[in-house]
Amino acid sequence: MQRLARRWQRRGVRIGFVPTMGYLHEGHISLVRRARQAVGRSGLVVVSIYVNPTQFGPQEDLKKYPRDLKRDKQLCRAAGVDVVFVPSDDEMYPPGMTKGFSTWVGEERLSREMEGRSRPTHFRGVTTVVAKLFNIVLPDVAVFGAKDWQQAAIVRRIVRDLSFPVKIIVASTRREPDGLAMSSRNKYLVGDLRGQAVVLWRAVRRAQALVRAARRPVESARLKSELKSFIERQPDARVDYVEFFHPETLQTAGKVGRGTHMALAVFVGRTRLIDNGRM
């Protein structure tokens, strides 16, 4: 992959890149379209499909994470992807994670709260694999989804701090008709869990309505408590966190006004889902 990317660079071909963990859906394909738009018809679009083990905690769903490479390749082909890069664990972490891999990329400010607090080793795995993928694919442009708002902010930060020559584009979240953010993990939502999962988006919309109706900024503690109660009225929903913060610095907001960003993580049954929105 790297040799191929270098050959493209020598020819002056622009490379657009969409890193994924596979089990693709329309949200991923919208990122592909955005990458194509960014590099133009003369550019090339690469999609990586790799379920990165280092971003999963010991009790998380690495082994059961949904996979369907044949379908993923068909979707990529239909979307006009030029190259699908599907590395193995041994290729990404030679000579094997347990035997010799010892170099990590860490971001130490934006990664402390929210997902970083709930999943302490998660972002170390994300930033390391993203750095490796950038070094392998050598993209001019990389596209990430806004559903993982904190992740996108952290990727932007490592690109800035480590001088990666990559333009980061954060594309809008794609949603199902009822508002549920598209996610590979939605496959786990069977029976009435699928209907209950819409409460994440409803909570975002409820927070937006409350903030916009208020004459002055709202106390975040009160708003978080109200939203937790609202979400957990669903019989199988359990809040991991609700947080309000500055959209770029991710600094926690004590008072919530217009322009403040909100993120939340909720277990619906055993499936952990995330979402976010701007107030």
pLDDT tens profile 25-41: 999 999 999 999 999 99
SS3 category, 102:
coil
Of the candidates 264, 279, 102, the one whose C-alpha atom is nearest the C-alpha of residue 197 is 264
Average pLDDT of span 55-71: 94
Strand order in the sheet with 237-245: 237-245, 261-268, 271-278
Percent of the chain with pLDDT over 90: 95
Structure tokens at 13: 């071909």
Instruction: Parse the chain into domains and list their residue ranges.
Output: 2-171, 184-278
User: Which residue carries 């309000």 as its tokens?
Assistant: 244
Percent of the chain with pLDDT over 70: 98
Task: Please count the other Cβ atoms lying within 10 Å of the Cβ belonging to residue 205.
Answer: 12
Bond before 95 cis per omega within 30 degrees: yes
CATH number of 2-171: 3.40.50.620
Average pLDDT of span 156-172: 98
Which pTM was predicted?
0.95
Give the pLDDT score at 198: 98
Give the pLDDT score at 98: 54
Average pLDDT of span 164-190: 97
Residue 97 has pLDDT above 70, yes or no: no
**For domain 184-278, which architecture applies?**
2-Layer Sandwich (3.30)
Average pLDDT of span 56-85: 96
- Binning pLDDT at 50, 70 and 90, where does residue 99 land? low
Average pLDDT of span 87-113: 86
- Binning pLDDT at 50, 70 and 90, where does residue 102 land? confident
Q: What distance in Å separates the CA atoms of residue 84 and residue 219, rounded to the nearest whole number?
A: 47
- Binning pLDDT at 50, 70 and 90, where does residue 238 land? very high
Catalytic (active-site) positions? 28
Q: If you compute the radius of gyration of the chain from its CA atoms, what whole number of angstroms results?
A: 19
